[in-house]
A and B are shown apart, each in its own frame.
Chain A
Amino acid sequence: MVAHMKILMIEDDLEAAAYLTKAFREVGILCDHASDGESGLFMARENSYDVLLVDRMLPRRDGLSLISELRASDIHTPALILSALGQVDDRVTGLRAGGDDYLPKPYAFNELLARVEVLGRRKGRPEQDMVYRVGDLELDRLSHTVRRQGREIPLQPREFRLLEYLMKNAGQVVTRTMLLENVWDYHFDPQTNVIDVHVSRLRGKIEKDFDTPLLRTVRGAGYMIKDEGRAEA
């Protein structure tokens, strides 16, 4: 589904690396592996990757200094930091060092995959699109209006941002934590299905009076907005 995305995983746990490499290959992502900070830095400099997966604690050079070093030499490959260190402050230091996203261990593979895909896509997609379109659904970022089949659908501001994020990543799986992070700017783990209720409300508004469903629930992963008809074509 993703055409030849190529990523580099810098991870010193060989077993985890082997498992992840295999899992990425199965979904069509080429995954190189470096087992320490120095060789990871070398490979990231010499080759062109779509996304870097960087473990925070690595032998020979830690993940954060690796990313800072890359950024200093003007290499801006999106980097996802993986860390056993959990929370709040670690995330902030990670992002300050030049990371683009932060995922605490242990994580579900689906979560990692969804984030890698979003980061990989980001590279090629201009942010300037003023209007997002998925099938007959249209979201105008300037006038803050949503129309389907030309009919305007009134949305609450938060619902608009939720839909905006989903449509920006149309065709890609977006997890619940990604939604909480990007729409609400909170990074904790909501203990209950708060996000699900918001999504189903939104779904009610954009699908209620129409035939074709657009917003899909991806089991065990999250949500995806997609024009079903066109995707298969």
Chain B
Amino acid sequence: MSRLRVLWRTTAVRLSALYLLLFSLCALLLVVYVTAMSQRLLTNQTREAVAAEVDQIETIYDRGGIAGVLRTLERRARQPGANLYVIASPAGEILAGNVAWLEPGLLDSEGWSSKPFLYQRYSEEGNADKHLALAEVMVLPNGLHVLVGRDMQEPQKFGGLVRHALMVALGIMGVGALVIWFVIGRNALSRIDRMSHATTRIMAGDLSQRLPVNGSGDEFDRLSESLNAMLERIEKLNEGLRQVSDNIAHDLKTPLTRLRNRAEAALAQSAGEEDYRASLENTIAESDQLIRTFNALLMISRVEAGSAVAEMSLVNLSQSAEDCVELYEPLAEEQALTLTSEILPGIVTHGNRELIGQALGNLIDNAIKYAAGATDPVITVRLATRAEAILVSVADHGPGIPADKREAVLQRFVRLDESRSKPGTGLGLSLVVAVMELHGGTLELTETEGGGLTVSMVFPRLDT
């Protein structure tokens, strides 16, 4: 029973019920119309036939007098399926014809009977059956009344037949609708059931579950397919998130552990003030690195959340690039590298000067870090324009990044140097990516001519 109630709640079943109702109504109307029309047609035919006969009788009377009429009517009345013929006295007494009984009063008035009336033939005298008929009454010049009528049994029978057909049709439609209810409704229901089972399992934490697809390409399949695509994406994001939290765990836990170990060792083994001092200094340096990592993470998430958007203004990119080159130039020189620049003057964009400066700073810092000791010691900072974009790039001749790993280094905490021997948080490029996204631009990693890495910040060009 509850199963039925569930069934009733499905759209398919409701729709088929509605259609059933509508179709039944239409069929009913159609049948009523058809019956009414055919009744009228038949009645008209009857009247025409009767009227023709009345005319004939008049002609016969004119030619052969009452005897001719009587003879003709006697002959006609004896034919099978004959019309009704009555000759009555002016008082209404039946004198001749094939009718034994008529509804009283019918013979009194000349012309058409206003509606079908009951009669009985001679052959049927004694049994209760009476039939319906239509008739015209004429008065002969000698005062006799002549009635010519036609039985209405046939049209009545026809109406009954149509009504019967209607009932059968309605019955078939009802059964059909029921079948459709069950087939469509139950089919839909079971597929939705399967989908919700899968969803329950997904909600329980099994993100690898997928919704069933039966390959028919119908709405359910399309729905399942898009939901599956969504799940795919969620799973990927989730995986990314898990990886980040693993990395956070690693990158924050490792220094925390070192911190703790150092403090413990200092407590256990330190010989004197010198030792304590050294340990404490190390502790502070270690926690500074931790704070730095933490700040970088926070910064990235804030930039990604777009909270720095409020502080966007016109930024002179050329100036920023010059400043950065100037800031890092002595550092490069200290590492025996040459920092050169090819900067197009007067290029302006809409952005956050502070973030752009930090991003470019990170790129130059990276270049200096990784190109140190390269055979070609030149690092070039370039500001150029391209069709729809402004390019700020840093090109070094260091070891570079293999093409298949370029995507990966943009992610948080990813460092190609597995041992993590170079200092850094592994967040530098992630911040640059976030900054570029904030500015509606992208970050491109390509190979420098002659080997090495070129990182380009691609800004959209201002429409001026």
Contact = CB atoms under 8 A, between A and B. Distances in A.
B299 interface: yes
B424 interface: yes
Contact of A190 (B326, B334, B361): B361
Contacts of A86: 295, 298-299, 302
Contacts of B425: 191
Interface string A69-92: 000000000000000001111001
B311 interface: yes
Contacts of B362: 191
Chain A CB within 10 Å — which of B299, B330, B334, B428 has the most? B330
Contact of B354 (A108, A187, A192, A193): A187
B331 A197 contact: yes
A89 B298 contact: no
Interface residues of B, number: 35
A91 to B, nearest CB: 9
Contacts of A87: 295, 298-299, 302, 308
B310 interface: yes
Nearest to B290: A106
A188 B354 contact: yes
A192 B365 contact: yes
Contacts, number: 70
A189 B295 CA distance: 9
A187 B353 CA distance: 11
A41 to B, nearest CB: 27
Given A184-B323, A192-B331, A198-B330, A92 B365 contact: no
Contact of B330 (A89, A187, A190, A197): A197
Secondary structure of the A side of the interface?
Answer: loop
A158 to B, nearest CB: 6
Interface string B334-378: 100000000000000000101101100110010011000000000
Interface in B284-318: 284, 288, 291-292, 295, 298-299, 302, 307-308, 310-311
B23 interface: no
Interface string B59-77: 0000000000000000000
A189 B298 CA distance: 13
Given A86-B298, A191-B292, A186 B334 contact: no
B424 A191 contact: yes
Contact of A88 (B281, B308, B330, B365): B308
A201 interface: yes
A220 interface: yes
A189 B292 contact: yes
Given A188-B354, A194-B331, A89 B295 contact: no
B307 A89 contact: yes
B357 A188 contact: yes
A194 B334 CA distance: 10
Contacts of A186: 327, 354, 357-358, 361
Nearest to B307: A89
Nearest to B368: A192
Contact of A220 (B281, B327, B354): B281
Contacts of A88: 302, 308, 311, 352, 354-355
Contacts of B328: 194
Interface string A169-188: 00000000000000010111
A188 B311 contact: no
Contacts of A106: 291
A187 B299 CA distance: 12
A223 to B, nearest CB: 15
Interface of A: 86-89, 92, 104, 106, 108, 158, 184, 186-194, 197-198, 201, 220
8 contacts: A88-B311, A108-B284, A158-B326, A184-B327, A186-B357, A186-B361, A194-B365, A197-B334
Given A186-B361, A192-B365, 18 more contacts: A86-B299, A87-B295, A87-B299, A88-B308, A88-B355, A89-B311, A104-B295, A108-B288, A184-B323, A184-B327, A187-B354, A189-B292, A190-B365, A191-B292, A192-B369, A194-B327, A194-B365, A198-B330
9 A-B pairs with least C-beta separation: A197-B330, A188-B358, A197-B331, A194-B331, A88-B308, A89-B308, A186-B357, A88-B354, A89-B311
Interface of B: 281, 284, 288, 291-292, 295, 298-299, 302, 307-308, 310-311, 323, 326-328, 330-331, 333-334, 352, 354-355, 357-358, 361-362, 365, 368-369, 423-425, 428
